[in-house]
Structure 1
Amino acid sequence: MRSQKSIKMFSDYPDVVSVKQMCSMLGGIGKKTAYDLLQSGEIKHVKIGKSFKIPKVCIIEYLIGGE
């Protein structure tokens, strides 16, 4: 059941999002809070050079409390 809901969640966003997009997805949180979530490991991500790339599924997992 969760997977079907997850598919529809954030369908307007690409599969990999930027920090700015992640802020929007999480209800308009600030960039500092977003970077804190990434650096603490609460949301899985990939760092390429200086930019963070966040898979959309990792944000969904964070929101639903997945591992």
Structure 2
Amino acid sequence: MGNENSKTTNQTATGWPQLLTVREAHTLLRISKWKLYDLIRTHLLETVRIGRRRFIPVEGYRAYVERLRQRESFA
């Protein structure tokens, strides 16, 4: 069998999964599910589809948060 200490293939080196579900993303951002879908619809948040399911890449989540931080620093 494999090494029990190795990370799973769906996690980054930091221990975060590579893809967040809609529920995980809106919980982490502390916004409603509907606001998250609005961000997706307006292409402010990157997503990928696997079959009928939609996921938010962790890199897309982090990029969105960074854009918010930069916008706040200029305000």
TM-score (ref. length: structure 1): 0.70
Which residue is 1:50 aligned to?
Answer: 52
Is 2:21 aligned against 1:18? yes
Runs of 4+ aligned residues of structure 1 deviating over 2 Å after TM superposition are: 47-50
Per-residue displacement from partner, 1:1-53 (whole Å, max 9, x unpaired)? xxxxxxxxxx55311010000011102x1110011111110011112333211
In our comparison, the structure showing a higher alpha carbon Rg is 2
Q: Tell which has more relative contact order, 1 or 2 (C-alpha 8 A, sep 6+).
A: 1
Which residue is 1:31 aligned to?
Answer: 33
TM-score (ref. length: structure 2): 0.63
Gaps of 5+ in 2: 1-13, 69-75
RMSD: 1.8
3-state SS of paired residue (1:13)? coil
